[in-house]
Structure 1
Amino acid sequence: MEDLDVVAWIQVSDGRMLAVRSRGRDLLYLPGGKREPGEDDWSALSREVREELDLELDRTSFRELGVIRAPAHDQPDFTHVRMACFTAAYQGAMAAAGEVDEYVYVGTSDRHLLAPAAQAALDLAGEHGLLT
């Protein structure tokens, strides 16, 4: 079975990582999602963040933090997620939009609220010294 290949935005504020809850989901995920045909990482992630949080990412600050692989949650066609994680500054006022019902900043003590790939991303952010 192939991995679900996605891009994700790691946004940290005051030592806590941004996570979102999509409609009908029990756990929190990172903003982002699947690439559409022909999209590169930047195009896919900037589109997903615009659709989910009504924000514009800043191309000049866009950089990859790393790629994680974790068990897929709520994805019956896939056993694992391969998630390329990026950081970027943003412009705009954050608002839950599209399929996202809420957004929240989480710390290491909130790990149980996160889907497995988001837990791995939290660890990645910690490895880069972004969390408190």
Structure 2
Amino acid sequence: MSPSPVVPPPLIEVVAAVVVRPDGRTLLVRKRGTAAFMNPGGKPEAGEEQRDALVRELQEEIGLLVESTALQPLGTFETDAANEPGHALVAHVFLLELASADHRVAAEIEESRWVDPAAPGDLPLAPLAAEHLLPWLLAHR
């Protein structure tokens, strides 16, 4: 009898933003009906470029109108999905530095918080934020 093949977990692909204001705090959001705080972003639509998807998601979720040229690529990160147990996440991440912290929660976002990357407190964090993006900010700020 041959061993069963290892089946990789289902994959979710997203775009996400590390939104930073001048004091170094970063914006995390919590979607309605979930517990974990995460970086704003979402799933690209079919055929949509990564930057265009993130521009759209930032406008829909938190009311930010940004030019795609303001998004600086940080890289692609792999981790566990926060809200889909047993799923893997591949996130194409961009940095967005804001001069003003004005935004509003909209669409599926229930709550937002500006977080000190060095001391996020007791917020429940999505794996992408906890394992990759907050540590990235600490190392590069």
The TM-score, its normalising length taken from structure 1, stands at 0.86
Query: 2:85 matched to 1:73?
Result: no
Shift of 1:26: 0.6
Change (3 A) 1:111 1:75: farther
Query: 2:105 matched to 1:96?
Result: yes
CA contact (8 A) 2:52 2:68 kept: no
From the CA coordinates, give the structure whose radius of gyration is larger: 2
Higher helix share: 1
Q: Report the counterpart of residue 110 of structure 1 in structure 2.
A: 120
- Distance in 1 between the 2:20 and 2:101 partners? 16
Shift of 1:122: 1.0
Q: What amino acid is the match of 2:90?
A: R
Shift of 1:83: 1.0
Partner secondary structure for residue 57 of structure 1: coil
- Distance in 1 between the 2:101 and 2:25 partners? 19
Q: Percent identity?
A: 34
Q: Report the counterpart of residue 8 of structure 1 in structure 2.
A: 16
Total equivalences in the alignment: 128
The runs of 5 or more residues in structure 2 that have no matched partner are: 1-8
Match of 1:44 among 53, 66, 86: 53
Shift of 1:101: 1.0
Shift of 1:89: 4.8
Stretch of structure 1 that moved more, 92-101 or 31-40: 92-101
Q: Report the counterpart of residue 127 of structure 1 in structure 2.
A: 139
CA RMSD of aligned residues (A): 2.0
The runs of 5 or more residues in structure 1 that have no matched partner are: none
- Distance in 1 between the 2:92 and 2:74 partners? 8
Q: Report the counterpart of residue 32 of structure 1 in structure 2.
A: 41
Q: Report the counterpart of residue 6 of structure 2 in structure 1.
A: none
- Distance in 2 between the 1:126 and 1:48 partners? 25
Q: Report the counterpart of residue 87 of structure 1 in structure 2.
A: 95
Residues 54-101 of structure 1 deviation map (CA, whole Å, 9 limit, x = unaligned): 1111223221012221122221361x2111110235689410000001
- Distance in 1 between the 2:11 and 2:121 partners? 23
Stretch of structure 1 that moved more, 69-78 or 113-122: 69-78
